[in-house]
Amino acid sequence: MCWFVLYLAFIYLRYQAPVYNVDAAVLIKEGDKKGGSSNNPMGALQDLGMFSMTNNFDNEVEILKSRTLIKKVVNHLNLYISVAEERMFGYNTPLYKSTPVKVYMTPEEADNLEEGAKLHLKYTMNGKLDVKVEYMFDEEKQETEVSFDSIPAVFPTPVGVFSFTKNDSVPPLEEDMNLVAYVNSPTDVTESYVENLSVEPTSKTTTIAAISLQNTVKQRGIDFINCLVDFYNLDANDEKNEVAQKSAEFIDERIGIINRELGTAETELADFKQRSGLTDLTSDARLALEESSKYEQQLTENATQLRLVESLRNYVNNPKNANEVIPANVGLQDQNLGSIINQYNTML
């Protein structure tokens, strides 16, 4: 019985590819937690009903684990395509960057494959490539074969175009090599990475996230995590640029409104003076008018601030602007409100 168990273990290890665990850590700057307006400036905007706050660290962790971000990495690194050395016994050896032949199909075409595609490749020492492709088309299994005297080469099929290029970073072959390549849907591959990815805080009091990924190719796991963090940081920079663009558009719109309002106000003031004969008043009357003008100016400034806040409220409550950044630096005199907007944009 013992020998039988050992035999089964030997068979399992021989035909099962090893799985590596790749770990990394990333520092996330945590924002203020949710609180009332009495002890947290974010509460001021909550009281307006504009949004509610959650822990920024938790938000950033969810972004790192998001399917949108992971799919960007999958497409960028072509992780929906895998190449392995085909063996008669044991598991096929994943080659990743050490494959002598690179296989490619656009992610858009790959996402339209019914059940993925399997390619059997024979690459000879003299550069000849024999290809057999298996795929589903109209719910029927199809097989197509083609040979190329040299590569690069392209192979159009009803489900898309496969391209083959030589990997110049790999030494010339010393013997012919049998390869097997799989082209899967990037969406399905993304789900696989989501299941095998873990992003957790290292402790309850830290803002350092521990990233862990299980993968059958160690270098592929390392590349995935590095690219994930790069895209995460890139999205943050894009958000800053978007804030600046939204702010510029908002300011231009407000300038247009203010110009129209000022033009109307000046016309009405001139008509009022002419009707009231204010141009002939004594110096005391002119002084009173000047004082009145100061009050009017203050009233105008206050009204402008109120209109700015109201415009921001309308912008945030507009369904078209859901999950969009709020324009910043638009002329608000309330520094707390400006700080709140910046914090909100950071947490998107």
- Render pLDDT for 154-210 as a digit per residue (tens, 0 to 9): 999 999 999 999 999 999 888 999 999 999 999 999 999 999 999 998 887 778 889
Kindly list the distances between the CA atom of residue 302 and the CA atoms of 46, 48, 119, 337, in Å, as whole numbers in the listed order: 22, 18, 70, 15
Please give the mean pLDDT across all residues of the chain. 78
User: 215: pLDDT confidence band, cut at 50, 70 and 90?
Assistant: very high
The predicted-structure confidence for 17-43, as pLDDT tens digits, reads as follows 688 899 998 888 654 444 444 444 444
The whole-model pTM stands at 0.62
Q: Which residues make Cβ contacts (< 8 Å) with residue 194, sequence separation at least 6?
A: 65, 67, 70
